[in-house]
Amino acid sequence: MSHNLLTVTGLTKSFGGLKVLAGISFTVAPGEILGLVGPNGSGKTTCINVISGLYKPDGGQVIFKGQSVTGKPLHVMAKAGVNRTFQIPKPFKGLTVKQNIEVVQHRQGAFQVVDNPLEFVGLQKFQDRDASSLTSGQQKLLDLARALASGPEMLLVDELAAGLNPAELVEIARRLKHLSERGVALLVVEHLLGFVNELTQRVIVMNAGKEIFEGDLDSAAKNERVVEVYLGQ
């Protein structure tokens, strides 16, 4: 028995002729926070998309709690305990903020990660507003609350920091750390390194669908190859 919660091995995905994932492998332990960073277009969102079941990978494996869940669709993954946020969230417009959470199916016997997801992300005061009235930053927080409502043990967050103001950033970093302390594992995808630094030192840096660095964030920021791909943008 491995103590890893999530293991991905050799994930590949192409769109047309473009190999967007060229064999990504990593593991995440329960309650661990792993940062997945890299320049725009390096394949970070696609990585979340194939793990969370939005897309099927062309090759490779996704193992969750020791079982292959490779290619299973989003709703099956959510039920299994893996959920994700979207880089560009699309809340149900015409539904209130609260109703957007109520439509989420709860996992059978899921451990309650947070009692009240809306309160957890600081949106309870807006619960009766139409979701479309929220700012883009607030829509990201609502999307996070939606993912939390399913009771995930593994949460994949895609560029949560972009669009949040500095006060919201501090708050959300504190809350994500709280989730990890409660045993939720997090894969934190970010283009910029600053927000990741608030959460974890363990990062993988991607470029062109491949891992180019794995280690601690401070070393990544000094790594020649990493600096080069960021400057080369």
Ligand X SMILES: Nc1ncnc2c1ncn2[C@@H]1O[C@H](COP(=O)(O)OP(=O)(O)O)[C@@H](O)[C@H]1O
* 207 forms part of the interface with Mg ion (CB under 5 A): no
In 3D, which of 114, 177, 186 has the Cα closest to residue 151?
114
DSSP state, 165? -
Which of 35, 43, 57, 89 binds ligand X (CB under 6 A)? It is: 43
Residue closer to Mg ion by CB (options 113, 160) is: 160
Question: For tokens 């997945």, what's the residue?
Answer: 36
Which of 42, 45, 138, 180 binds Mg ion (CB under 5 A)? It is: 45
In 3D, which of 61, 67, 134, 54 has the Cα closest to residue 101?
134
CB 38 to ligand X: min, Å = 6
Find the part of the chain contacting ligand X (CB under 6 A) among 43-51, 56-64, 105-113, 165-173: 43-51
Out of Mg ion, ligand X, none, which partner does residue 146 contact, by CB within 5 to 8 A per kind?
none
Residue closer to ligand X by CB (options 41, 71) is: 41
Which of 42, 52, 150, 180 binds ligand X (CB under 6 A)? It is: 42
In 3D, which of 63, 52, 49, 66 has the Cα closest to residue 13?
49
Out of Mg ion, ligand X, none, which partner does residue 152 contact, by CB within 5 to 8 A per kind?
none
Out of Mg ion, ligand X, none, which partner does residue 60 contact, by CB within 5 to 8 A per kind?
none
Find the part of the chain contacting ligand X (CB under 6 A) among 33-41, 70-78, 88-96, 164-172: 33-41
Residue closer to ligand X by CB (options 44, 72) is: 44
Q: Are 74 and 50 in contact (CB under 8 A)?
A: no
In 3D, which of 196, 204, 200 has the Cα closest to residue 220?
204
How far CA 161 is from CA of 80, 179, 193, in Å, comes to 26, 17, 10
Out of ligand X, Mg ion, none, which partner does residue 43 contact, by CB within 5 to 8 A per kind?
ligand X
Residue closer to Mg ion by CB (options 34, 97) is: 34
**Where do the H-state alpha helices sit in 81-203?**
97-102, 117-120, 136-149, 166-181, 193-199
The dihedral through the CA atoms of 155, 161, 163, 165 has a sign that is: positive
Q: What residues make contact with Mg ion under the rule CB under 5 A?
A: 44-45, 87
Q: What residues make contact with ligand X under the rule CB under 6 A?
A: 15, 20, 38, 40-46
